[in-house]
Amino acid sequence: MSFEHPQPGAVALVTAHDRFILRQRFRPVINQYEFSLPQDGDTPGPTLLFVEQKRFKFKEDIRFYSDDTKSVEVMRILARQRFDPRARYDITDASGGKIGEIQKVFGKSLLRSTYALFDASGEQVATAAERSMVVALFRRLVGLVPFVGDFADWLPIPYHFDFRDGDELLGTHVRQSWKFRDTYTIDLTPDTGRRLDRRLVLAAAVGMDALQAR
């Protein structure tokens, strides 16, 4: 199956904005997501991107499309190794051009999920870490409780991340409470210099959900 390349406007809509809503679609056997631009606060507008994690792949393969017809691919996340919790993931555009990389920081993630973000040249540009150590530990403990752990993802436990370059806050990734499906608000307005490629951040946002158990 061949794909059309995205029109310049499709990418421009992503790179020109600072706030996004990410929602997971409820599917029993496959991870699907949709991005939209917020309207009236945190209310999702029309779908901006549709995301689907490929099934039965030895290496993670997550594709971003302009909509759920999947006819126009925008970018993708590809793992370099198979089933490796320390794997680095390449983010590429529809033509295979490098956007950046993301990697779970395995040691730190044992206590608080932490990801490193790299630009197209492989230079680290930011980290994304769970905001609260206390909440991160509590969420892990709940997951170990018999019966309760099976429903941990349905509980209104915060799953908030901060994007930082050193001590400087560049953006936030906040899970909205009491939603039937996972819903996150991504806010990059603190990044006034637009140092972070918005495509890299959206890829990281999907990775932080889809690859959470890795």
Residues 87-144 have pLDDT tens digits of: 889 999 989 999 999 999 988 888 888 999 999 999 999 999 999 777 777 676 766 6
- Cα separation of 28 and 9, whole Å? 33
- Cα separation of 176 and 132, whole Å? 16
CA quadruple 168, 101, 62, 11: dihedral, nearest 10? 70
Residues facing 44 on adjacent strands: 38
CA angle 14, 168, 127 (to 5 degrees): 65
Sign of the Cα torsion 71, 77, 80, 81 reads negative
Q: What is the pLDDT of residues 130-169, one digit of tens each?
A: 997 777 776 767 666 665 545 555 566 678 999 999 999 9
Residue at token pair 């631009």: 37
CA quadruple 131, 82, 91, 39: dihedral, nearest 10? -50
Q: What is the pLDDT of residues 4-42, one digit of tens each?
A: 555 556 678 888 999 999 999 988 778 899 999 999 888
Amino acid at 203: A
118: left (phi over 0), alpha (psi -120 to 50) or beta: beta
Other Cβ atoms closer than 10 A to 199: 20
Q: What is the pLDDT of residues 32-85, one digit of tens each?
A: 999 999 998 888 998 999 999 987 666 789 999 999 999 999 999 998 877 666
